[in-house]
Amino acid sequence: MHSNESTEIATVAATARRLVEQIDRVIVGKDAVVELLLVALFCDGHVLLEDVPGIGKTTLAKTLARSLGCTFSRIQFTPDLLPSDITGVNIFNQKAGEFEYRGGPILAEVVLADEINRAGPRTQAALLEAMEERQVTVDGVTRPLPYPFLVLATQNPVELEGTFPLPEAQLDRFLLRVAIGYPGREDERTILRRFRTSNPLAEVTPLVGAAELRQLSARCRQVACQPVVEDYLLDLVAASRSDPAVELGVSPRGSLALLRAGQALAAIRGRDFVTPDDVQALARPVLAHRLILSPESRLRGQSAEGVIDRLLEQVPVPVEEQWSVSR
């Protein structure tokens, strides 16, 4: 590793560590989840938080936004929400005698799309188009979205009545699908004590700006992935396409997402090369929501996460001598 590359990687790791430490003062015991959010941030990706209500998804999004000095908006998705409620509208200004654009909540830098599966397909599509294209078009005029632009969408996996589940093709637009999970007993005790007299969120301060974040993201793209680790990643993806429980396996978009997420995770952990451990750590959050199980598998109660776990057990892992020597 060259000295300047070493310094740049150390900067990525140090910045990530500071962000995790600050967010940990508000979100207790979820360092692994925060690390995944930083992976998405450094990859210019988006995250689907699939978990039950009341475990801190909104607080997590606000804390991250404040730590980045970013604007924040929360969109509550409901069946009557219209695409224009997200993207904004043109309103006629009588004094000026012309239409003027009133931006929607999508123009924030960190957007929490709460219960995305409660809105209709057209409204979901408006959000997902903005996520993919990083722009909005209103009455034929296209406007770029800010940088950074991170969407944290949530959906409740339990209450399905009155919802419009995201199609698999739209799920594929999310870099990661993450479950926060309940806190442990002692972590929950810490939450009770921290929030009893004050709100720790008020003490969160910006740690990194947009220009620095852009540089960190660019450095993550330069992290090396040696051929033997690349082969391991491709073997996992190929196995998903031939597994009998799977109707449609991981797409090339998914394999590229796994590579880029691996690069970001390696940099966050202070390395300039991807290891098989990085690939394994990210396989479930990056790949599981990209699988379409066969109807028979779903009837038997199999899950995409279970399939990924099985593939991780079956696909041979390169031993350290192979990828460390090739490095």
pLDDT for 159 equals: 58
Q: Please give the average per-residue pLDDT across 12-21, as a whole number.
A: 94
The residue ranking higher by pLDDT, 164 or 136, is 136
pLDDT for 140 equals: 80
Q: Is the pLDDT of residue 211 over 60?
A: yes
Cis before 148? omega within 30: yes
Q: Please give the average per-residue pLDDT across 215-227, as a whole number.
A: 93
**DSSP SS3 for 131:** helix
**DSSP SS3 for 92:** strand
**DSSP SS3 for 50:** strand
Percent helix / strand / coil, the chain, rounded to 5: 55, 15, 30
Q: Tell me, what DSSP letter sits at residue 58?
A: H
Q: What is the pLDDT of residues 159-207, one digit of tens each?
A: 555 567 777 777 888 999 998 888 889 988 988 888 888 888 888 999 9
pLDDT for 4 equals: 62
250 contacts 275 by C-beta, under 8 angstroms: no
260 contacts 43 by C-beta, under 8 angstroms: yes
- Closest Cα partner for 234 from 276, 266, 267, 200? 276
Q: What is the pLDDT of residues 248-307, one digit of tens each?
A: 899 999 999 999 999 999 999 999 999 999 999 999 999 999 998 888 888 888 889 999
Q: Rounded distance, CA 255 to CA 230, Å?
A: 10
Q: What is the pLDDT of residues 27-71, one digit of tens each?
A: 988 999 999 999 999 999 999 998 777 778 889 999 999 999 999
pLDDT for 124 equals: 87
pLDDT for 170 equals: 77
Helical H segments across the chain, by residue range: 3-24, 31-42, 57-67, 83-87, 121-133, 168-171, 185-197, 210-221, 227-242, 252-268, 276-287, 295-299, 304-314, 320-326
Q: Please give the average per-residue pLDDT across 14-37, as a whole number.
A: 93
pLDDT band at 137 (very low <50, low <70, confident <90, very high): confident
Q: Rounded distance, CA 267 to CA 256, Å?
A: 17
pTM of the model: 0.90
Q: Is the pLDDT of residue 2 over 60?
A: no
Q: Which domains does the chain have, with CATH numbers?
A: 1-195+207-222 (3.40.50.300), 223-322 (1.10.8.80)
Q: Rounded distance, CA 144 to CA 177, Å?
A: 25
Q: Is the pLDDT of residue 228 over 60?
A: yes
Q: Rounded distance, CA 284 to CA 278, Å?
A: 11
135 forms bridges with which residues in the sheet?
144
The CB density around residue 311, as the number of other CB atoms within 10 Å, is 22
Q: Please give the average per-residue pLDDT across 306-318, as a whole number.
A: 93
What distances in angstroms separate CA 117 from CA 105, 134, 158, 303, one per listed residue?
A: 18, 21, 12, 20
Q: Spell out the residues 6+ positions from residue 313 whose beta carbon is closer than 8 angstroms to its own.
A: none
Both tokens assigned to 36? 């995944």
> Residue 11 burial (CB < 10 Å; 0-12/13-18/19+)?
middle
45 contacts 221 by C-beta, under 8 angstroms: no
Q: In whole angstroms, what separates CA 298 from the centre of its chain?
A: 25
pLDDT for 161 equals: 59
Q: In whole angstroms, what separates CA 139 from the centre of its chain?
A: 30
pLDDT for 68 equals: 93
